[in-house]
């Protein structure tokens, strides 16, 4: 069984909806990446009689309605790279989630469903925590040293394929 992660690849400004302002923040741009929900799957039995998930693909997409850029903002490469960082962090979380899904086995379909729900909840919380830390330490791309530190860590984690932490944060 393999759980694959499908991504959009490099972001472009055309994914961002131009707006007058972004409510509740002083950010110039905001991306809302999402992990697709687990489809309605038919669990498989292992040779030992346990249940596991079949092969499927997790897609990391962008909620276009909630992905915005202020009309007057300078749509710089640096700002887009910062938003790409948010997206890439969710890709890393999706990879970690996929590895966990692959390892799940249970005595019943219901128990497997509970394990899936727990994994989703755990990784969702981790995604929110690492995303908040990213914005805090980069000051929404305005802290160049912080941004460079995160850019290097994200690139290394993406290259590793099996990263389960980034800057000591669980994925």
Chain segment 85-140, per-residue pLDDT in tens: 999 999 999 999 999 999 999 999 999 999 999 999 999 999 999 999 999 999 99
Would the pLDDT of 153 be above 90?
A: yes
**What pLDDT is stored for residue 108 in this prediction?**
97
Helix, strand, coil percent content, the chain, rounded in steps of 5: 45, 20, 35
pLDDT band per the 50, 70, 90 thresholds, residue 39: confident
pLDDT bracket for residue 40 (50, 70, 90): confident
User: CB–CB of 118/17 below 8 Å?
Assistant: no
The tens digit of pLDDT for each residue in 48-80 reads 999 999 999 999 999 999 999 999 999 999 999
33: CB partners within 8 A, 6+ apart: 60, 61, 62, 63, 86, 87, 90, 91
């Amino acid at each position: 069984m393999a759980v694959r992660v499908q991504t959009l690849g490099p972001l472009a400004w055309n994914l961002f909806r131009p707006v007058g302002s972004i409510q509740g923040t002083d950010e110039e741009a905001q991306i809302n990446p999402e992990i697709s929900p687990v489809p309605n799957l038919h669990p498989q039995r292992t040779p030992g009689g346990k249940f596991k998930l079949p092969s499927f693909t997790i897609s990391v997409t962008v909620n276009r309605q909630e992905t915005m850029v202020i009309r007057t903002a300078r749509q710089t490469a640096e700002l887009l790279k910062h938003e790409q960082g948010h997206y890439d962090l969710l890709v890393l979380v999706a990879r970690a989630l996929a590895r966990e899904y692959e390892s799940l086995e249970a005595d019943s379909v219901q128990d497997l469903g509970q394990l899936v729900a727990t994994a989703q909840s755990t990784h969702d919380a981790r995604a929110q925590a690492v995303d908040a830390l990213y914005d805090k330490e980069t000051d929404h791309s305005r802290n160049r040293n912080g941004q460079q530190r995160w850019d290097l860590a994200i690139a290394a984690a993406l290259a590793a394929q099996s990263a389960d932490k980034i800057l000591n944060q669980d994925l």
